[in-house]
Structure 1
Amino acid sequence: MPRIGLYFSCECQSQQHQQLELGTSGRSRPRPIFPFTAIVGQEEMKFSLILNIIDPKIGGVMIMGDRGTGKSTAVRALVDLLPEIAVVADDPFNSDPNDPECMSDFVREKVQKNEQLIIKKKKMTMVDLPLGATEDRVCGTIDFEKALTEGIKAFEPGLLAQANRGILYVDEVNLLDDHLVDVLLDAAASGWNTVEREGISLSHPSRFILIGSGNPEEGELRPQLLDRFGLHAQIGTVQDAQLRVKIVEQRADFDQAPLLFCQKYQDQQKELADLLLAARENLHRVQIDPKLRIQISQVCGTLNIDGLRGDIVTNRAAKALAAFESRTQVTLEDIIRVGPLCLRHRLRKDPLETIDSGEKVRETFQKI
């Protein structure tokens, strides 16, 4: 039975982006990213990210922790582990050719006319949302010149279009402008992004895994946005001296020869990627006993959690964990492991109150 701890051996504090650099041939190639399987410690963060890859409907993860604890590094390291998805080739919104609810108007019209769809495979996309982004950059813009001269809706897709069926990552999300927070809330709630300018309206699907990271010293999130994150991971600075030395050495090795360093972890990366793909494919086979469902809802009721998102996310996360460990039945231990991640950030009623460490959730689970 595979365990998560088998796949991680070092942490780094890099904020390496997947940018382009020129190779010896003059052509651009991706700059190496620190391998996910080379990160040590911060198990709660890595665990939360893995569950969201297995089941994107969990709703993302909010990662809060000290500066320099590898938050951005771990999220961007996911790129190499993301599975491939089927998309319509000539559609800018990553429309799902098999799901009418996740098709753009452009693709839906083709289907209604019985036109042949060109389908291709591509990796799930991860999009960075910068703090200084404008609303037009996030939502997209409409080309009024074409609309007026040619009578067609010419749309320039934004970040929400690129992130459809992928990951939308917001670093320092607690510093995001309120108007962009409202845009994210609307898109996350409906799964669609609507752009209206000067009497012209256009909508497209925008279902994404929302991943945010931040430092609690810089302020907390609005409760409405915090509730949109399926899981909440708390991380801290590694205190063990030997681990800190190992982290420094690994970081130095990566900076000195990044390609060679990544090659050392190729087998582990492939093993974890294959495991995640198998878990995604077997997720629908995982069952959860009705008695356990009732107990989950009893816990949420006892903790006085608003709404039903806590119940839904806990069920989904427990199933994802069982699928990751190649099981078809959720156990009580699965629920206790994922419970604090799913519920701790939903306990807070007062915006000035700090988020529970998870002990209150664990105690309630064990009682019930």
Structure 2
Amino acid sequence: MKLALILNVIDPRIGGVMIMGDRGTGKSTTIRAIADLLPEIEIVQDDLFNSHISDYELMSDDVKNKIQEGVSLETTFVNVPMIDLPLGATEDRVCGTIDIEKALTEGIKTFEPGLLAKAHRGILYVDEVNLLDDHLVDVLLDSAASGWNTVEREGISMRHPSRFVLVGSGNPEEGELRPQLLDRFGMHAEIRTVKEPNLRVQIVEQRSSFDENPDACLQEFQDKQERLKNVIINAQKKLIEVSIDYDLRIKISEICGLLDVDGLRGDIVTNRAAKAFAAYKGKDLVDIEDVKQVITLCLRHRLRKDPLETVDSGSKVQQVVNKILGN
């Protein structure tokens, strides 16, 4: 789970992560904690969409126009947005809405930003994503894939950039996600309740010490946190230099073919995740071990479900990986 989140932070193009697991296993806690590891981002001051000052793909049309007109823009640094999407949210709350009254009375196109605008260049977290209305999940996944959100209301159209890491969590007992929606998440992690008594005691003790004195607990792990933050920042910078050999790409696609994975998303995500993992480890070239570390996370949710199958999808992926890449 932690590795999937870190890799998505290093390369948001991986396409987010779906985390399924038992109740009370720390899914939400871990997801919300990832925001503390991210460096601040530079945004155009007073912009509704966290626009980037120089990257055209990450700026709103309004900012683009101002830059083309030669207007000098002020910038400011903010924490990476971490937006929670509540289960009861309406489509207008998620996508934003156009103020029709103002448009009709004053002739001004005024956009009220939604959660997709606030999450731009950050993380959008949906707890219990398997309970979210299907049409809202479709909207989220389309925005995550295209990087843009378009709002059409009463003949008025408005669009803005919406690049974010989509993170969903859920409990399998409350229902599965439709396969075609599950396929749109880049990675999938499964969490099980810890059975080892010593580890359970360690978790309980850490939780108790945090409850008693949160500041002291945060201070205790401050150095580790800073080290990990620096590793992630360096990996983000290094990612562009990392390459993956043609032979290894062939083997990844061979694995996807043998597992009968529909479409090519599995191949693309595995390549991106392997490069992000190599960057995380400070390497310039992806090797077999890097692929082995990430491939199960990238493919386990893309296999066709057979109700009579007793083998776990993760084990099935591992068997084919060992056959093609060696033990």
* TM-score over 0.5 for the pair: yes
1:279 equivalent in alignment to 2:242? no
Partner of 1:307: 263
Specify which of 74, 78, 81 is matched with residue 122 of structure 1.
78
Partner of 1:239: 195
Partner of 1:77: 33
Matching of residues 87-126 of structure 1 within 5 Å? 87-126=43-82
Does the aligned pair in 1 maintain the 2:278–2:286 contact within 8 Å? yes
Aligned pair in 2 of structure 1 residues 225, 354: CA closer, same or farther (>3 Å)? farther
1:208 equivalent in alignment to 2:158? no
Which structure features the higher share of helix residues? 2
Partner of 1:366: 322
Aligned pair in 2 of structure 1 residues 355, 69: CA closer, same or farther (>3 Å)? farther
C-alpha distance in structure 1 between counterparts of 2:139 and 2:81, whole Å:
20
C-alpha distance in structure 2 between counterparts of 1:351 and 1:155, whole Å:
47
Q: For each residue in 1:157-176, what CA deviation from the matched residue of structure 2 results, as whole angstroms up to 9, or x when unmatched? A: 00000111111100000000
Does the aligned pair in 1 maintain the 2:149–2:159 contact within 8 Å? yes
Task: Give 2:246's aligned amino acid.
Answer: P
C-alpha distance in structure 2 between counterparts of 1:196 and 1:78, whole Å:
34
Matching of residues 1-368 of structure 1 within 5 Å? 45-349=1-305, 356-368=312-324
Does the aligned pair in 1 maintain the 2:303–2:313 contact within 8 Å? no
Out of 238-247 and 77-86, give the one that drifted further. Answer: 77-86
**SS of alignment partner, residue 314 of structure 1:** helix
C-alpha distance in structure 1 between counterparts of 2:20 and 2:34, whole Å:
18
C-alpha distance in structure 2 between counterparts of 1:110 and 1:55, whole Å:
29
Q: CA deviation at 1:97?
A: 2.2
Does the aligned pair in 2 maintain the 1:279–1:320 contact within 8 Å? yes
Q: For each residue in 1:4-48, what CA deviation from the matched residue of structure 2 results, as whole angstroms up to 9, or x when unmatched? A: xxxxxxxxxxxxxxxxxxxxxxxxxxxxxxxxxxxxxxxxx1111
Q: CA deviation at 1:346?
A: 0.5
C-alpha distance in structure 1 between counterparts of 2:142 and 2:245, whole Å:
34
Does the aligned pair in 2 maintain the 1:62–1:213 contact within 8 Å? yes
Out of 290-299 and 143-152, give the one that drifted further. Answer: 143-152
C-alpha distance in structure 1 between counterparts of 2:236 and 2:91, whole Å:
34
Q: CA deviation at 1:139?
A: 0.7
Task: Give 1:76's aligned amino acid.
Answer: R
Q: For each residue in 1:173-220, what CA deviation from the matched residue of structure 2 results, as whole angstroms up to 9, or x when unmatched? A: 000012211211321232211111111111111111110000001110
**SS of alignment partner, residue 142 of structure 2:** helix
Flag structure 2 segments of 5+ consecutive residues without an equivalent.
none
Task: Give 2:109's aligned amino acid.
Answer: K
C-alpha distance in structure 2 between counterparts of 1:167 and 1:75, whole Å:
9
C-alpha distance in structure 2 between counterparts of 1:88 and 1:351, whole Å:
51
Give the ranges of 4+ consecutive aligned residues of structure 1 lying more than 6 Å apart after TM superposition: 350-355
Does the aligned pair in 1 maintain the 2:42–2:77 contact within 8 Å? yes
Does the aligned pair in 1 maintain the 2:17–2:188 contact within 8 Å? yes
Aligned pair in 2 of structure 1 residues 354, 260: CA closer, same or farther (>3 Å)? farther
Task: Give 1:70's aligned amino acid.
Answer: G
Q: For each residue in 1:57-82, what CA deviation from the matched residue of structure 2 results, as whole angstroms up to 9, or x when unmatched? A: 11111101000000000001112101
Q: CA deviation at 1:317?
A: 0.8
Please give the root-mean-square deviation of Cα atoms over the aligned residues, in Å.
1.7
C-alpha distance in structure 2 between counterparts of 1:140 and 1:100, whole Å:
22
Aligned pair in 2 of structure 1 residues 184, 356: CA closer, same or farther (>3 Å)? farther
**SS of alignment partner, residue 201 of structure 1:** strand
| TM-score, structure 2 as length reference | 0.95
C-alpha distance in structure 2 between counterparts of 1:356 and 1:105, whole Å:
47
Q: CA deviation at 1:251?
A: 0.8
Paired residues in the alignment total: 324
C-alpha distance in structure 2 between counterparts of 1:342 and 1:112, whole Å:
41
Does the aligned pair in 2 maintain the 1:314–1:338 contact within 8 Å? yes
Q: CA deviation at 1:350?
A: 6.2
| TM-score, structure 1 as length reference | 0.84
Does the aligned pair in 1 maintain the 2:186–2:298 contact within 8 Å? yes
Does the aligned pair in 2 maintain the 1:347–1:356 contact within 8 Å? no
Flag structure 1 segments of 5+ consecutive residues without an equivalent.
1-44
- Give percent identity, aligned residues only: 68
